[in-house]
Structure 1
Amino acid sequence: MLIRLDANSPEPLFAQLAASVRGAVARGELHAGERLPGARDLAESLGVNVHTVLRGYQQLRDEGLVELRRGRGAVVTGQAEEGLAHLLDLVGQLVTQARRIGFTTDELVTLIRTEYR
């Protein structure tokens, strides 16, 4: 799992870190039961304060995507993979609806890109 942070982004670093972990789960790079890097090690490798990493991990914990276990660190939960399954279901519904109203693939992609910004 590769975590990249952009110091020039208006999004806080802890939120970028949490988004990176969410993305890794969505891409299948992280699975339920896997441990995330230790907060101190990750902070050192990213060049950020350890509290930034802990805040990102706490955000993921509050969302139910990781469990913070004393002595074991942050562990990905099964709920993280359920979130991906839910997203895939929503995408399927979106594609079905787009076809129903006559959208082309390019029109749907353009709509998604516009909304995603």
Structure 2
Amino acid sequence: MLLRLNAADARPLHEQVAGAIRRAIAEGECAPGDRLPPARELSQALGVNANTVLRGLRTLRDEGVLEFRRGRGVTVADGADQRSDLVEQVRALVADAARRGYSKADIIAIIEGDS
């Protein structure tokens, strides 16, 4: 799995790590059931602290994209390719809305049909 971070990206590093893994899954580099390299290996490859990588991995676990299994490491969850793509689209929507002056609460109100 080849991951890269963009030095010009203003997002926190852990979000960039999570985004890079999401992209790898969405582009088919990682399939459901595949094991990810250990966090220490990923941190060395990306040039960031291992805790930064772990924070990104926990974010993806909380989104249902990754599974942490004792003794088996971190694996890509079933259906992660679809969830990963959807999460990227939602994040892009939120970023675009913020540039246009909308808050997350505004977006939620639009989705719920209150606006």
TM-score range, shorter chain: 0.5 to 0.7
Matching residue of 2:47: 47
Percent of counterpart pairs with the same letter? 51
Structure that is richer in helix per residue: 1
Alignment RMSD = 2.5
Show structure 2 runs of 5+ residues with no match: 87-95, 100-115
Tell whether the 8 Å contact from 2:26 to 2:82 is kept in structure 1 after alignment: no
Matching residue of 1:57: 57
Deviations along 1:44-96, whole A, 9 cap, x unmatched? 22221110000000000000000012232210011303436x85xxxxxxxxx
* TM-score (normalised: structure 1): 0.67
Q: Does the residue aligned with 1:7 lie in a helix, a strand or coil?
A: coil
* TM-score (normalised: structure 2): 0.68
Which structure: larger Rg?
Answer: 1
The AA in structure 2 aligned to 1:50 is A
Tell whether the 8 Å contact from 1:7 to 1:13 is kept in structure 2 after alignment: no
Q: Distance in 1 between matches of 2:6 and 2:28?
A: 23
Structure-to-structure mapping, 1:1-117, within 5 angstroms: 1-83=1-83
